[in-house]
Structure 1
Amino acid sequence: MQAIAEPNLIPEPDKPNSEYGWWAGNARFTELSGRILGAHVAHAGLIVLWAGAMTLFELSNFNPELPMYDQGLILLPHLASLGLGVGQGGQIVDTYPYFAIGVVHLISSAVLGAGGLYHSLLGPKVLPQNNTFFGSFGYDWEDKDKMTTIIGIHLLLLGLGAWLLVAKAVFWGGLYDPHVADVRVISEPTLNPGRIFSYLLPVRGPEGMAAVDNLEDVIGGHIYVGLLCILGGFLAYLLLSLLLWGPNECCFGRGEAYLFLHLGRSGLHGFLAAYFV
């Protein structure tokens, strides 16, 4: 009797003519760079929409007579930690910055949502690759130069984000320090690499990075994180494309490999955050 092969239920994204159901997620768009862009932009819009809406919701229920930790707030304490609207003794004296931030996030989410809809429904399914500005956004999974360039750009943006917090702490009004119950400028951030990187070693005990107890070390750590990310961004092409990776490595040319790596890293970050918290 001839055996009947079982149907292959695993999607094969490397076949451009394959058809997938909705359950396959972004695997349907492996060869459709324009649609992947639409999904990413729309996802960013949803995140920003939640941040703006939740900020305004918390603000509408905020009671300045009670401490924030007694009100079940999520976002307002983070905004207060940046020194926004905080007076002496840690008292909230001005809620307008929170309102403005929430509204800006709502407007930004509308722009991102429109961009996501355009690239998901109306824009080109595959982004063009040419020498124009818009052509620079096109890519091929097998193009090592473009893949490492994308990684480098992400690292640069992460580094600049870390340095924005440094600028806020050192130049733009400072941060709220719970030790003194007031907002203060961090004029002397810790620059000693031995002290900063010791938080990654067992010398700090089981708490690790959670053992940080002063803003000088927090800002000093962000200085080094930003520096490493920016240097990594500039060196991404050299290190990844020329030194570490061969032309036939598994990651290049397979969108699933990139997805696997990113999901694995996200899971690791989640476990690290849970441990330190």
Structure 2
Amino acid sequence: MQTYGNPDVTYGWWAGNSMVTNRSGRFIASHAAHTGLIAFAAGANTLWELARYDSSVPMGHQTAISLSHLASIGIGFDEAGAWTGAGVVTIGILHLILSMVYGAGGLIHAVVFDADIQQSNVIQAKKFKLEWDNPDNQTFILGHHLIFFGVACIWFVEWARIHGIYDPAIGAVRQVNYNLDLTQIWNHQFDFIEIDSLEDVMGGHAFLAFFEIGGGAFHIATKQIGEYTKFKGAGLLSAEAILSWSLAGIGWMAIIAAFWSATNTTVYPVEWYGEPLRLDFGLAPGWYDTVDLPEGVRTVRCYLANFHYIIGFFYIQGHLFHALRAMGFDFKRLSDVQFGPHGRPAALKN
């Protein structure tokens, strides 16, 4: 957190990041608790949507975002291939149970375990301490994150291969094998919005899994190569810098998801998300439904695309704010600017 040269600065209760800035144990506690909140929201929303689901109305014309995602990956279908919601309650309750497990883990790390892992008596745990000026420590932690992401991609690929996912081309759930064609994967970097092959989608995830796990193993096994320069993060790495990069990543992904979900009907089938949207530019880009719906009703696709774009936009603004603070920019100096004629900055106040 930016202290503006005051080492004894204190923050209000609302500045939650200040509690985890240089305390690796508390950092893990916040991660676990945050995961618990996400799991609780997912489970509760799934059950709420199922309770009010109307089978006489297309799912895409209801606010059934969780149900739509579950249907897309082949959950909720009977043996005949019709969507019945089978297994959805189990998924919802499982998420609620996991939210309590994660919440308990967060509380244990916050109350029982050391605030800073560096003070732990467990040798293996000490490897995950936070040392911002130690590149070997940072690359070690990064490697583990990459491996977890890679495992998640493998899970998705294997789920599609063994269980199957919904294919709008045939209107049923089918098993999908990945197409690990590097040429296709490269080409889809530029036309992913128009992708129409589930095999190519799974191939991209399989490649990403290999790339992430390989990169993770490299970062865990190796140390800083060459001189540790500012270009590589020397003097720049901090909790606030990490926060800024995280916001940039999730913001960019949200904006990509907005454009993708607005028009793609292979990954986002019309049956579950509604018809493709129309993009209009006003004060900001916005997506609108292309079909006549009752007053006040929007498709799932409309909610999904617009929400992702709006939240992505604000995440990127947060990235810029925290990145500038991490680089040492003092926002308080803005309040000291004296303005001359025509509103132009003239000088700093004494």
Contact 1:89 1:181 in 2 (8 A): no
Contact 2:228 2:234 in 1 (8 A): no
Contact 2:128 2:137 in 1 (8 A): no
Cα-to-partner distance string for 1:40-92 (whole Å, 9 max, x where unaligned): 21111111100010111111112334331122200111111221232478521
Q: Identity, % of aligned pairs? A: 34
Is 1:85 aligned with 2:68? no
Aligned to 1:51: 42
Q: Distance in 1 between matches of 2:250 and 2:235?
A: 17
Structure 1 counterpart SS, 2:77: coil
Cα-to-partner distance string for 1:161-196 (whole Å, 9 max, x where unaligned): 1111110111x2211111101111124x32211112
Q: Distance in 1 between matches of 2:236 and 2:110?
A: 25
1:132 positional shift: 2.8
As a proportion of its length, which structure holds more strand?
2
Q: Runs of 5+ in structure 1 lacking a partner?
A: 1-9, 202-207
Q: Runs of 5+ in structure 2 lacking a partner?
A: 263-350
Q: Distance in 2 between matches of 1:134 and 1:238?
A: 17
Is 1:258 aligned with 2:248? no
| Equivalent residue for 1:269, pick from 226, 229, 253 | 253
State the superposition RMSD in angstroms: 2.7
1:151 positional shift: 0.8
Contact 1:42 1:113 in 2 (8 A): yes
Is 1:153 aligned with 2:111? no
TM-score by length of 1: 0.82
Cα-to-partner distance string for 1:121-172 (whole Å, 9 max, x where unaligned): 44322223566344344332233222111111111111111111110111x2
Aligned to 1:117: 107
Contact 2:176 2:199 in 1 (8 A): yes
Is 1:12 aligned with 2:3? yes
Structure 2 counterpart SS, 1:242: coil
Structure 1 counterpart SS, 2:76: coil
Q: Distance in 2 between matches of 1:211 and 1:55?
A: 29
1:13 positional shift: 8.8
Contact 1:58 1:76 in 2 (8 A): yes
Contact 1:175 1:185 in 2 (8 A): yes
Structure 1 counterpart SS, 2:166: strand
Contact 1:176 1:184 in 2 (8 A): yes
Amino acid at match of 1:64: S
Which runs of structure 2 are paired with 1:113-262 in the superposition (5 Å)?
113-127=103-117, 128=119, 132-170=123-161, 172-187=162-177, 189-201=178-190, 208-237=191-220, 241-242=224-225, 245-246=228-229, 249-250=233-234, 253-262=237-246
Cα-to-partner distance string for 1:201-254 (whole Å, 9 max, x where unaligned): 3xxxxxx21111121111111111111111111122577722585488336652
Structure 2 counterpart SS, 1:124: coil
Contact 1:85 1:97 in 2 (8 A): yes
- Misfit runs of 4+, over 6 Å: 13-16
TM-score by length of 2: 0.66
Aligned pair count reads: 259
Q: Distance in 1 between matches of 2:2 and 2:129?
A: 24
The answer to which of 245-254 and 73-82 deviates more is 245-254
Amino acid at match of 1:213: D
1:106 positional shift: 0.3
Q: Return closer, same or farther for 1:176/1:21 CA change in 2, 3 Å cut-off.
A: same
Q: Return closer, same or farther for 1:61/1:135 CA change in 2, 3 Å cut-off.
A: same
Aligned to 1:4: none
